[in-house]
Amino acid sequence: MPRELEAVYHGADEPEDMETLEVESDSGFGILIVNRVPDSDMNRKEVRDYVHKVIAEHRHELSSVDSRIRANHEGCLIGLSPVYSIPDAARPILTRPLKITHSSYNRDTSRWLQQILGDAGLMAVLQEVPFLDTLYNPDVFRDTDLNIHGEVFENNQTFSYYYFLLNSYSPMQRIIQRDARLKSAILDYPQIPFER
């Protein structure tokens, strides 16, 4: 977790002054949030398709940006998500540079994204915001085109992903609330037999 966020967990029976230890987890994922703000080029399918194509061509480079990142050609749930199909797309003309909002914890990955988009002919500008604002102030993403969100799984991956979709600081939660089909699928999830 970023240094700005001190995540210390205590059990109900533990004293608050109990000694703590640091635990590192490699279970989680990072996703690129495409924010279709009004008057943004990201509202055009050809722009979104081209961004996906550029990322797919360079995804293998991510471990050189951060050694803890592994390229993933599937969805968020390893072993459960299908392989991405990337459409062929021609470079579109933008009306303005794409805006990438990031915080300190994903600064290097956001710079990498800006670089590969620029090399592919799409100008992008970076805006850094405090990490806590990315959690508690959704307005920081109101006028951004792209942002990278990282999620650490603290429980088994399926439950953690379900919680990620619903928790109030998830960028997906706002999208799900506006989409009747996704909202219905999320409401059905607790009724699915555990084996599935």
Which one has a higher pLDDT value, 64 or 77?
64
Domain assignment of residue 42, yes or no:
yes
| Domain extent at residue 53 | 28-152
Quote the pLDDT of residue 96.
Answer: 95
d(CA 84, CA 86) in angstroms, rounded, equals 6
User: At 50, phi and psi to the nearest 5?
Assistant: -65, -40
DSSP state of 145: S
pLDDT in tens, 106-142: 899 999 999 999 999 999 999 999 988 887 887 888 8
Segment 173-195 mean pLDDT? 83
The answer to whether residue 14 sits within a structural domain is no
> Is the pLDDT assigned to residue 186 strictly greater than 70?
yes
Quick count: other Cβ atoms within 10 Å of Cβ 166?
14
What is the C-alpha end-to-end distance of the chain, expressed in Å?
A: 31
Domain annotation covers residue 144 = yes
Q: Does residue 38 lie within any of the structural domains?
A: yes
Gyration radius of the chain's alpha carbons? 18
Please report whether residue 122 resides in a domain: yes
State residue 43 phi and psi, 5-degree precision.
-75, -15
Please give the single-letter amino acid code of residue 27. S
Q: Is 23 within a domain?
A: no
What is the domain count for the chain?
A: 1
Give the Cβ contact number of residue 125 at 10 Å: 12
Q: At 70, which CATH number?
A: 3.10.105.10
User: Which tens digit of pLDDT belongs to each residue from 8-63?
Assistant: 555 556 666 667 666 666 677 788 888 878 889 999 999 999 999 999 999 999 98
Residue 170, domain member (yes or no): no
Q: Is residue 91 part of a domain?
A: yes
Q: Is the CB of residue 101 less than 8 Å from the CB of residue 129? A: yes
